Chains A and B, each alone.
Chain A
Amino acid sequence: DAKTTQPTSMDCAEGRAANLPCNHSTISGNEYVYWYRQIHSQGPQYIIHGLKNNETNEMASLIITEDRKSSTLILPHATLRDTAVYYCIVRPLSNFGNEKLTFGTGTRLTIIP
């Protein structure tokens, strides 16, 4: 799976949009970008995934550059409950049931009141 690079930490004011970047310059054509987050002392939670088109769901938006070498997760109106470590993961789409996730150290996002 392609390696990802994320900033170690970021702050964002409550109510503002939080933009979390991720570099994945070695991504292959069949690899998707996934985002998970881990709130303190809890298990990770799936947020969103995408291939090359921008994606949006009830939690966030995912913007992937045209060359697919980087992406940005956007939390449109950050709340204190969004304080967490955010993981960007790249892996191939598969339906074999062996979809191993490789977690790096992620970005620690702190929402400031």
Chain B
Amino acid sequence: NAGVTQTPKFQVLKTGQSMTLQCAQDMNHNSMYWYRQDPGMGLRLIYYSASEGTTDKGEVPNGYNVSRLNKREFSLRLESAAPSQTSVYFCASSPGRGRPYNEQFFGPGTRLTVL
């Protein structure tokens, strides 16, 4: 199993450009999450999806949109990138509904720089 995969690994954008970060998991998990991590900080939740077809805002959703394309895939879109969105983005998944312990499994991250 590959676990949680993310593409791309690195990306540089100019202010105002848009892009989509891709995430996929092969563990048949119901729940998926997007976090961002700024230098020297802990992770902050952007959006999450408790199950296919549902999405909810996390702690820092402004400037982002998400799509739960199917059970495997959860994408994060920046419509108009800003320098404040320079960060490392992590996708995670967990078994979800019906599985109370629900440890989260994280991908390797996407390092995004907005100039």
Q: Which residues of A contact B (CB under 8 A)?
A: 34, 36, 41-46, 49, 87, 93-106
- Please, could you name 7 A-B residue pairs with CB atoms under 8 Å apart, sorted by A? A43-B107, A43-B108, A46-B105, A97-B31, A97-B102, A98-B56, A100-B45
Q: Give the residue of A46, A96, A102, A104 whose beta carbon is less than 8 angstroms from that of B103.
A: A46
CA–CA, A79 and B44, complex, Å: 29
Q: Is the CB of B99 within 8 A of A43?
A: no
Taking residues whose C-beta sits less than 8 angstroms from the other chain, chain B's interface range is: 20 to 34
CA–CA, A18 and B9, complex, Å: 32
CA–CA, A84 and B66, complex, Å: 30
Given known pairs A44-B90, A95-B98, A97-B96, the reply for A103 and B42 (CB within 8 Å) is yes
Is B92 an interface residue when CB atoms closer than 8 A count as contact?
yes
Closest to A43 in B: B106
CA–CA, A97 and B58, complex, Å: 14
